[in-house]
Amino acid sequence: MKSFFARNLLVGRDSVEPSDKSAQRSFALPILFFFATIFPSSAQSVTIGSKKFTESYVLGEIARRALNDSGIVAEHRQGMGGTIILWEALRGAQIDAYPEYTGTIAQQILKTDRRLSLQEIRDSLAKLGIGITEPLGFNNTYALVMRRDESRRLALHTISDLQKHPELKFGLTHEFLDRHDGWQPLRERYQLPQQNVIGIDHALGYAALAKGSIDVKDAYSTDAKIGENNLVVLEDDRQFFPRYDAVFLFRLSLPTLTAAVLHKLEGTLDEARMIRLNAEA
């Protein structure tokens, strides 16, 4: 399973459909336990999309298997791109559903800095012909991470602590650099003085941290690589980052039974389980 995602992450978050059938089979194993519920069958074909990072692949595959186990023909288009690419594909009916996060929906799709309730998000999306499930059960917020030994050496525990160390090198993903809830407003909120800030691929950023090429990077709080690389998450002591509860977005024109399968996934994944699935992928 590691080799499967190694191929997909060679170009960052981009991915292609794997040709190794044994890898596909092994990928399915960690998520088989989610589908004990018997779903009604349907002949409707459904296309699930996912973004180009591990957790999105995993969630897309969970949805595909849930639909297949219900008797609904479904395919999973992995690693299609970032938020806007997936959103436009959904609105253009190139895909029927994809995993997303509430904070991203508010900031990147609905273009608001307000902390929206789930009902406000649902009402806004419905006007665009898009539905949303209840949260799947975990919050995958953004975080700033660094090597644990460096955190201890410099006594860095919070994002505010970074104010004292303008010499630190930041390696941030290109999406985080451009987001409304990303680097520029974060820098303003915390008055961060760092000038050595580069754009770097999400996966390559971990290697750069290990080598000391950068000191701080952005990460997803449920990323198993945080623990695997002995990194520490700096506390968001000014509560800059909103909640990023995982959900599925889907076209409201989907058959009721198809949408019901996605709704069945609500509340089935807590943070610890999602981290384990990410580690196994």
Torsion angle (degrees, nearest 10) of CA 57, 60, 66, 69:
-70
Residues 241 and 164: beta-carbon distance below 8 Å: no
- Alpha-carbon distance of 235 to 48, in angstroms, equals 34
| pLDDT at position 19 over 80 | no
Q: What are phi and psi of 40, to 5 degrees?
A: -70, 150
Asked if CATH classification 3.40.190.10 holds for the domain at 2-139+244-280, the reply, yes or no, is yes
pLDDT at 31 (0 to 100): 52
Domain ranges, ordered by start, for the chain? 2-139+244-280, 142-233
pLDDT at 141 (0 to 100): 92
Residue with tokens 């981009």: 14
Task: Transcribe 75-140 into DSSP letters.
Answer: EEE----SHHHHHHHHHTTS-SEEEEEHHHIIIIIS---S---HHHHHHHHHTTTEEEPPP-S-B-
Which tens digits make up the pLDDT trace of 174-214? 989 998 789 999 999 999 999 999 999 988 999 999 999 99
- Alpha-carbon distance of 222 to 188, in angstroms, equals 25
Residues 121 and 112: beta-carbon distance below 8 Å: no
Equal fold, 2-139+244-280 vs 142-233:
yes
Which tens digits make up the pLDDT trace of 129-149? 999 999 999 999 999 999 999
- Alpha-carbon distance of 58 to 141, in angstroms, equals 17
- Alpha-carbon distance of 231 to 144, in angstroms, equals 10
- Other Cβ atoms within 10 Å of 255 Cβ, number: 13
The model carries a pTM of 0.73
CATH number for region 142-233: 3.40.190.120
Starting at the earlier edge strand, list the strands of the sheet with 74-77.
Answer: 74-77, 46-49, 97-101, 246-251, 130-132
pLDDT at 175 (0 to 100): 87
Largest CA distance in the chain: 60
Residue 38's identity, in one-letter code, is I
**How far apart, in Å, do the first and last CA atoms of the chain sit?**
5
- Alpha-carbon distance of 189 to 186, in angstroms, equals 5
Residues 261 and 130: beta-carbon distance below 8 Å: no
Which tens digits make up the pLDDT trace of 24-60? 444 454 554 454 444 444 455 999 999 998 999 999 9
